[in-house]
Amino acid sequence: MARYVRSFCERRGLKVRADKFGNLLTKYQRGGRKAGWPLLFSAHMDHPGFEALEMVGARGVRAQWRGGVALEFFRGAGVRFLSEGKWVRGIIRRVKPLKSKPGQMRRADTVEVELRGRGQVAKGALGMWDLPGPAIRGKKIHAPACDDIAGVAAMLCLLEVLCRRRVNAAVYLLFTRAEEVGFAGCMSACKAGTVPKRSAIVGIECSTELLTARMGDGPILRVGDRMSVFSPRLEGYCRQTADELSRKDKTFRYQRKLMDGGACESTAFCAYGYEATGVCLALGNYHNMNKREKRIEREYIHLEDLAHMIRWFVALASKRRGYEPKVGAPPPLLEGIRRKHERTLVRTVGK
């Protein structure tokens, strides 16, 4: 993933900097400096998966699990490891759970996989669910991982459009590691100064579809997650841009919701002192869990949601003024209401 991102950017003449944690940062810059802060788009490159610890006997491998998947999905599920350039497949036979408090979701710690055939899995090899490759069905794309490959893809599409149209803009793109263990890559990037202090961060995610945030109704401006609410001014800046886009193009659609089905890196960015908001896609089979069938399956997203999201990002990046973090004059709508009623307020005090 990181190699693909790097070569995609470098082929378009952009320098990519990796910090010591493996997070990647690049900057698209064309034309003079704009007023305000540049936007920084961010998405994580990882997905829940396994790391091989050791072979157990001739046909078994013990592996560490990393990510949020409920315990009942593991036993009997197919897994594949990429070991020395070759895929080695197997079935999970045993699961050791992490200690959990009552009421908490039970999580897996390590698993034991029975390998098919005579495969060897090297220590440190990475593993994933053994699922079929991506396929488009109707307007949806089903893939072993959409979270957050779709977010990364949206950023690369944004970059492609900016380069092709030679847009005057200044935009950072940050690709993070190890989000699925709890924002580890993102927080290390904040702490180490990989993330420019004066940047307005748009964190991109795939987030469980909710009854109030449906797939196909457009990308979602995420005002907050399970843990916190994000920067209100930056959220307003993104909303205003989406409204302008809707006025110009009647087919553009977006939603604005509190997506509290999970937490995302925007919470971490805000906690480390940055201005951040979130934009996400409604995701089906979150973390490969088909909860109805109790089975590991491909995740899916709606392709039109993704297309609208990219157009929104292009509009945000193309804005003539950058983001101004300071509070400016109140909007004319509110000022109008205040002026209209102020005299009545004074006249009716005590009546």
The minimum distance between CB 206 and Zn ion, in angstroms, equals: 6
E strands along the chain, which residues? 16-18, 24-30, 39-44, 49-56, 60-66, 78-83, 86-97, 108-115, 126-129, 135-137, 140-143, 169-176, 200-208, 220-224, 255-258, 275-283, 289-290, 295-296, 299-302
Q: In this structure, what DSSP letter does residue 141 have?
A: E
Q: Tell me which residues in 79-108 interact with Zn ion (CB under 5 A).
A: none
- CA 251/CA 249 separation, integer angstroms: 5
The minimum distance between CB 190 and Zn ion, in angstroms, equals: 17
Task: List the beta bridge partners of residue 12.
Answer: none
Kindly write out the interface string for residues 126-155 of this chain, putting x where it contacts Zn ion by CB under 5 A and - elsewhere.
---------------------xx-------
Nearer to Zn ion, 235 or 299 (CB): 299
Please count the residues of this chain forming the interface with Zn ion, following the rule CB under 5 A.
2
The minimum distance between CB 264 and Zn ion, in angstroms, equals: 7
The minimum distance between CB 44 and Zn ion, in angstroms, equals: 6
Using alpha carbons, list the distances in angstroms from residue 319 to 127, 156, 237, 314.
Answer: 42, 19, 10, 9
Nearer to Zn ion, 49 or 322 (CB): 49
- Residue 225, interface with Zn ion (CB under 5 A)? no
Nearer to Zn ion, 180 or 275 (CB): 180
Preceding omega of 148 cis (within 30 degrees of 0): yes
Nearer to Zn ion, 77 or 152 (CB): 152
- CA 64/CA 47 separation, integer angstroms: 14
Q: Tell me which residues in 282-311 interact with Zn ion (CB under 5 A).
A: none
The minimum distance between CB 148 and Zn ion, in angstroms, equals: 4
Nearer to Zn ion, 217 or 225 (CB): 225
Which amino acid belongs to residue 126?
Answer: L
Q: Tell me which residues in 233-262 interact with Zn ion (CB under 5 A).
A: none
Nearer to Zn ion, 19 or 299 (CB): 299
Which amino acid belongs to residue 95?
Answer: V
The minimum distance between CB 85 and Zn ion, in angstroms, equals: 27
Which amino acid belongs to residue 260?
Answer: D
Give the footprint of Zn ion on this chain (CB under 5 A): 147-148
